[in-house]
């Protein structure tokens, strides 16, 4: 395992009061991501995700902006893989201390694949932000979940997919669905569609997805924007203390 080695500076800059012994730190060797917002860190981060898929574990991101380029990140077959950003979220003028910068026209971050089910993956303390072509592409998606069961997210955000989709639940394959996902303090800013659930038959559906606290917010919403786009056979959504602003629904 690529464990997190803590220094005095790490305690202040990289982690709060938790030590992730199962963490694959993307800035450690052999990955060596920069987090400088300029260098393309896609290959380094994807290598850490691939190792975490094989072993089961948490991919840890110290404070920084991680340019993931145009390709996007994929966790296709791992269970228990969590992308974990360092806290605190607020760093200077930045809302999030850890941010993914995506400039492609497809999916920035994807969990799952058609014909299989992933269990207990997650995304915490990370903002996914569209840049370049991703801000104007209708096919761009911040976070896509395919057949993901028990997905969890705490204090995460998706921003600036102003022609695309922030979060998409995308079941695929017979009897596949996303079961019992939980999003706590999840934010979608300036997305054409903040949250979208798609399904085509009674056995292809999203099930028991819960949004807790915080809100799906839209400031200066793109024209015709949609807060929640829940299509046929998307059942059992629960919303608690959710604040939706500035939408045409």
Q: Is the pLDDT of residue 16 over 50?
A: no
Provide the pLDDT for residue 100.
97
* Strand bridging mode 64-69 / 82-85: unpaired
Provide the pLDDT for residue 237.
79
Provide the pLDDT for residue 46.
97
- CA terminus-to-terminus distance, the chain: 47
The pLDDT tens digits of the residues spanning 142-151 come to 999 988 888 9
Question: pLDDT tier at 49 (50, 70, 90 boundaries)?
Answer: very high
The pLDDT tens digits of the residues spanning 85-130 come to 987 666 666 778 899 999 999 999 999 887 778 888 999 999 999 9
More confident residue, 227 or 36: 36
CB proximity list for 208: less than 8 A, separation 6 or greater: 179, 180, 181, 236, 238
Provide the pLDDT for residue 119.
85
Provide the pLDDT for residue 9.
43
Question: pLDDT tier at 235 (50, 70, 90 boundaries)?
Answer: low
Mean pLDDT calculated for residue range 194-198: 86
Mean pLDDT calculated for residue range 215-233: 75
Provide the pLDDT for residue 40.
96
More confident residue, 159 or 21: 159
Lowest mean pLDDT among 49-63, 65-79, 227-241: 227-241
- Express as a percent the part of the chain with pLDDT over 70: 77
pTM score: 0.86
Please choose, from the candidates 180, 166, 169, the residue with its C-alpha nearest in 3D space to the C-alpha of residue 204: 169
């Amino acid at each position: 395992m690529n464990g997190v080695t803590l220094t005095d500076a790490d305690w202040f800059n990289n982690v709060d009061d938790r030590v992730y012994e199962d963490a694959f730190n993307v800035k450690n060797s052999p990955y060596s991501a920069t987090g400088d917002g300029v260098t393309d860190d896609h290959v380094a981060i994807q290598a850490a995700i691939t190792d975490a898929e094989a072993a089961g574990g948490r991919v840890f991101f110290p404070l920084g902006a991680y340019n993931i380029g145009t390709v996007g990140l994929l966790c296709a077959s791992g269970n228990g893989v969590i992308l974990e950003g360092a806290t605190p979220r607020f760093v200077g003028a930045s809302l999030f201390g850890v941010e993914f910068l995506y400039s492609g026209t497809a999916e920035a971050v994807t969990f799952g694949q058609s014909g299989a089910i992933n269990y207990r993956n997650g995304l915490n303390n990370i903002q996914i932000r569209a840049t370049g072509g991703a801000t104007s592409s209708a096919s761009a998606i911040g976070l896509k979940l395919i057949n993901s069961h028990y997905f969890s997210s705490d204090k995460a955000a998706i921003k600036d997919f102003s022609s695309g989709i922030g979060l998409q639940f995308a079941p695929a394959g017979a009897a596949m669905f996303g079961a019992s996902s939980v999003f706590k303090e999840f934010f979608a800013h300036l997305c054409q569609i903040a949250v979208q659930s798609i399904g085509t038959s009674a056995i292809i559906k999203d099930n028991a997805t819960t949004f807790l606290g915080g809100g799906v917010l839209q400031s200066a919403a793109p024209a015709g924007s949609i807060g929640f786009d829940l299509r046929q056979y998307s059942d059992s959504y629960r919303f608690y203390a959710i604040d939706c602003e500035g939408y045409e629904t």
